[in-house]
Structure 1
Amino acid sequence: MQDSNISVKWLIHAFLIGLSINACFSILTISQITFSLFPFFTLYFATSRFYQLYISEADNEASVRPAWAAFFIGLFSYAAFIGALHPELGSNFISITITLILAIWLMYKMMFGDKHYPA
């Protein structure tokens, strides 16, 4: 196995940003979900901390694609969670499928990283 240079802090904050963006959007658009300020606070604090990490670790290009994957995992996993809580809103098959595909890809990247073979 290869040691990957992927920053776990980037992944956690990107996941939280995706989760809180979808929570904020769901609170504002779906009437079955009660209003709360906590997703807005979470979005603010996660984005500000992620920006600080991005500035301090600007040379960490190995974490960019996995961070986008973690962002979309958070986004689609909250959509799947809401679909499971409120089945009258519709199917959550697409969001579960996208979440699983991205989670498998992210797990592969975390375990094996990028293979660079010498010429």
Structure 2
Amino acid sequence: MSKNSISLKWIFYTFLIGLSLNACLSIFTISQVEFSIFPFFTLFFTVNHFYGFYIKEANNEVSIRPAWATFFMGIFAYSAFTGALYPELGSNFISITITLLLAIWLMYKWMFKDNHYEA
């Protein structure tokens, strides 16, 4: 791995961790969301797999900030999705806005800051 490469595996798995973590929390906190065991399975296996990547690529400081951004994108994207499914919960404007701002920042970082990518 070169010094300036953002690991796309970190990006993908942190997005899934954020998405499934918010899904697990929504099951317990929002009465309209029905119980399902699949977000818990997804969270367990994704965290387990991501930990393996983290141990192998422990010196990958370039991917940490984009990974945090995609983690929060996953959290806020699921909040926006839940707000769209159940409008009686309130507005999802803030969730959509934060998700879009993080996505714009991430695209800017990929397009103009880093020229090396790794799958």
Match of 1:7 in 2: 7
Unaligned runs of 5+ residues in structure 1 are none
The 5 Å alignment of 1:90-109 reads 90-109=90-109
Q: CA deviation at 1:68?
A: 0.1
The 5 Å alignment of 1:1-119 reads 5-113=5-113
Q: CA deviation at 1:111?
A: 1.6
Q: Deviations over 1:65-109 (max 9, x none)?
A: 000000000000000000000000000000000000000001111
Q: CA deviation at 1:63?
A: 0.1
Between Structure 1 and Structure 2, the one with more strand by share is 2
Q: Which runs of 4+ in 1 moved over 4 A?
A: none
- Match of 1:58, SS? coil
What TM-score, normalized by structure 1, do the two folds share? 0.91
What is the total number of aligned residue pairs between the two structures?
112
**Identity score, percent:** 69
Aligned-residue RMSD, C-alpha: 1.3
Q: CA deviation at 1:14?
A: 0.2
What TM-score, normalized by structure 2, do the two folds share? 0.91
